[in-house]
Structures are given as structure tokens and as C-alpha cells.
Amino acid sequence: MLKLDAAIDTWPMLPHDCRIVVVGTVQLMALTSVEREPGHFRSTTSGFRMLLLCLLAIALMVLDHQNQQLVGVRKVLSIMLHPVQVIVSAPFNLGRNMAEATATRSELTSENEQFKQEALVINARLQRMTALEAENARLRALLDSTVKVGDSILIAEIVSVDMNPYRNMIVVNKGGRDGAYVGQAVIDADGIVGQITRDRYFSAEAMLVTDVDHAIPVELARNRLRTIAVGSGELDRLSLPFLPVNADVVDGDLLISSGLGGTFPPGYPVGVIRKIKEVTGQAFLRVDAEPAAALNRIREVLLITPQGGDEFAEAATAADAPPENEAGPDQVSGDVAQDETAAAEATP
Amino acid sequence: MARRVRLWPLIAAMVAAVAFEIMPLPGILQGFRPPLPTMIMIYCAMMWPQRFGIGTAFCVGLCLDILHGQLLGQNALALTAVTYLTLRFHLQIRIFPLWQLTVTVFALLGFGAFLQFLVEGLAGLPPAGLARWTRVLSGTLFWPLVMGIMDRLRISVEARPSSFN
């Protein structure tokens, strides 16, 4: 153990938990390494060593699963593995760059023309937006509530790598180095994409709203009926399991983020109601929504940092908690847990 | 006696296999991506048991865990167990004819997939569904090809042909 401590002290640039694991593994391997006698073929496996490695793997899994103590280990290992990601995504980037470089002049001019027109339309809308924002601020001041301010934005690109095939996760090319943080909301031009779940320093992992572990507090844009949209595991479907049979919901309703829970800023489109099914004898409707963001086509995403954190707390206190928000599934992200606490705080 | 082997081509093959794991594939093919790191690990453990042991398997498994964003240690455990079994029986399976070896690889890959299935079940993670088992199947189908490529590689990395096999 003395040797272990000494080794840890001489290696100061890594996080402490990481150093313990790395040095521990090395010492364990040295301790149990097989004597390599010439001509002695049977000695290549050692059950003892196998047992130790299995225990180490199980210990890692328990630590990783239970209380997220291995963030440092993960970060260091993922920085080491960053080159692999770069190599894998390189041909795809190269292909895109080639396509851009070989675009003809007429294509570029027509595209440019199109962008100019779009910019004109968007700017025109923005003019009205400024007036509306000012009006909103005045009205909110009359109501004695906090003024809603804009969000700051970080543009990121999706790295062309496949994550776990069984989950809806993506890797974006901005990480802790660029100011991305765990829990940050990810959007694209059409709506909410997901949230950052792991920071890899040079890049970050994001969970999409459609992942089975993801849930997002939403409200119907039409009547502000609040509920939770849970991922289904399919890229084109969200499910809304907590709408009672008598809820006022119709096909085509727009879902926007409600801002409860504080992870996602309020007001961004999440999806559109596509299928409503009433099952006889069930207290809840079976409602499916289609995500607003083009989850399987996006290349560029925006990481948004909400400015002025008061608005969420304010929204939570203004809310009277509907009963469907209390009943969350067992396996949902921290977002809903937060949402539930926010809702619990709201009830006097 | 431990035979002299040039390690760099083998390490390169392993890195390529790991990179293949995260290579973007069209949606339908993703479920049929052969588990190349496990297959190459089986081959290496079978052919150079003195060089590639469960320690290597553990490290490769950890890399896979990080790249896939899975539970840290999940792939490591499965790969270590598969490699251990390979090492334990490497003298027997090395002299198998190809079809018999392919069946063995099927069993090994299935065992690894089952371990991961078990871990995810115990950890209460969402089930992976059918994709895990289709990958075992495609890995088995691709084994003769991988074996052929690795055999070529083996001839080039070994100073002289192996004394057995």
C-alpha cells in the first residue's frame, strides 16, 4: 500500500479516483502475472487473476452505476480515446468537405440567393420580435414578475460515430473545453434534441429526447396543459403516458417545453401530437407525439445556456401541480425527479 | 517457448476493430455489426496465448465501454470472460476444423452477449432488445472471413511458421 500511495503522489495531473484505479490495476496485474516458463503452455491462464479482474470489473460497474464516482476515470479514458473518434469520423468529414469544395458556382450562387431571402424573412420576423419582447417585459413588469431574457448559444456539430446501438445517444464535438456542461439542453433549428449527459472534455455525449431513459416536462401550446413526454426508444416517437382520459388534447397539438425542472428552458417546441388512443377501462390515454427536431437528419445542433435562472423557479411557483406530474415512472432521468420536486414545492 | 511476434500489426488490427465498433452504419445494418474486437481477441488469445491474455481483454473492454457510453466494466467483464474461456481451451479449439471453430466462436460470442444481458438486467438498464443477439449471429457468419484475414496477418507477423497447427 505504501508503494501505491507513493505512485499516486508522483502522478499529480490525473484526478485522484482515476489514479487509484490505474495504479491499482497495474499493481494487481504485476501481483498476479503468470510465470512464463519456456514450454509450459498451460500456465497462460490463471483462475485467480481472472477472478480478480472480474471483481475489478464488477466494482467498476457498481461504482459507475450507483453514485457516478468514476467521472474522472471516464474523462481521462475518453480523452485517450479521442483519436479513435477523430479517425472514424474523418472520412465522413472529408466527404462533406469534398462535396463543398467541388460545388459548382451556379449551385453556390443559387444557395446564396436562397440564404439571403431566408435571412430577409427571418430578420423581418426578428424586428417584430424585438417589439414583442419589449412588450412582454413591460407586461411582466406590471405583473411584478421576472423579465425573461435570451439564452446564450454554443454551436456544435454531431460527430459521425455510432454510440451504443441500443440507445438514442449522440456525440457532439463540443465538450467541457468549450463550455458545454452536463445537463445542458441541446436544440436544433426545429426544436429540442436532448440534453448533454456526459462531458468528455473534447466532446460530449448527449441523450436524445427519444431515449428510453429520457423524460421531459412539456405543455400543450394551445391550452398550457402540462405533462411529461417520455422517450420510446424509436427516433420518431415520444410517448405521453400521463394524460388522463378527459384531457383536452387533439391530433396536431404542439408540445413545448414547460421549463419545469430547470434543465430545459421554457417555450421551445418538443413535438407534435400524432396519435391519441383511448383504451377502455384505462385511466390514461395512450398518446404518441412526433419529435419536432429532425433527430435522424441533424448535423448541427445548438447547446443553450439559459440566462437568468430565476424564471424557472418563478414558473414553478406560479404552477399549480397537476396530478399527472406526480406520477413519474421509476426509470426516468434526473430531469423528472427535479420536476417532481419543483411541483412538490409549488403545492402550498 | 514464447514465439517472437511483431506486435504492431496486431495492435493496429485491434484498434481498427475498436474503431469499427463506432463507425457510422445505416440504421438497419447497425444491429448486424459483427463484434470484431471480441472476435479478434478470441483469435489472438487462441494463437498467441502468451502475449494476449485477460489483461489485454480487460483494457480493450474498458475502451469499448467508454466509446459506447455504457456502464464502465460491462464490456470489460464480458470480454475478459470470453478470453479466459478461449485461453482455457486454446489447445483444443486451435486444432478444430473451421466449421467446428465457427460453432465454438458462436458459443463464445453468445456467452459474452449473455453476460452483458445479465449485467444490464441486474443494473436495471433498459433492455437492448434483439440487436444484441443478431450481432452474435452476424459475428459467427463473419468468423471465417475474419479468420482468413487474421491467418494472413499471422503469417506476416510471425518470424517463422508456428510449430503446431
Query: Tens digits of per-residue pLDDT, B42-58?
Result: 999 999 888 888 999 99
Contact between chains at A164 and B68 (C-beta distance less than 8 A)? yes
Closest residue of chain B to A70, computed from CA coordinates: B72
Q: Does B16 touch chain A (CB under 8 A)?
A: no
Long-range contacts at B26-30 (CB < 8 A, ≥ 24 apart): B27/A296, B30/A162, B30/A165, B30/B131
**pLDDT one-digit tens code per residue, A205-227:** 999 999 988 999 999 999 999 99
Joined grid coordinates for residue A155: 454551436
| Residue in A closest to B28 by C-alpha | A165
Q: Given B25, B54, B91, which is nearest A50 (Cβ)?
A: B54
Question: ipTM score here?
Answer: 0.84
Instruction: Please report whether residue A12 resides in a domain.
Output: yes
- Cα–Cα distance measured from residue A250 to residue A260, given in angstroms and rounded to the nearest whole number: 23
CATH number of B8-157, picked from 1.10.1760, 1.10.10, 1.20.1250, 1.20.1740: 1.10.1760
Number of domains making up chain A:
2
Instruction: Please give the model's pTM, rounded to 2 decimal places.
Output: 0.74
What is the count of residue pairs from A and B with beta carbons less than 8 Å apart?
129
Smallest CA–CA separation between B156 and chain A, in Å?
Answer: 23
The CA-based dihedral angle spanning residues B131, B134, B140, B142, taken in that order and rounded to the nearest 10 degrees: -80
Extents of the domains making up chain B: 8-157
Contacts of A29 in chain B (CB under 8 A): 55
User: Is the Cβ pair A165, B84 closer than 8 Å?
Assistant: no
Nearest to B87 by CA among A252, A42, A85, A243: A42
Q: What percent of chain B has pLDDT over 90?
A: 53
> How many alpha carbons lie under 13 Å from residue B144 in its C-beta half-sphere?
6
Percent of chain A topping pLDDT 90: 22
Domain coverage including residue A336: 208-346
* Shortest Cα–Cα distance, A31 to chain B (Å): 12
Nearest to A325 by CA among A191, A237, A235, A230: A230
Between A13-17, B30-34, B36-40, the lowest mean confidence (pLDDT) is in A13-17
Residues of A in contact with B71 (CB under 8 A): 61, 64-65
pLDDT at A74: 85
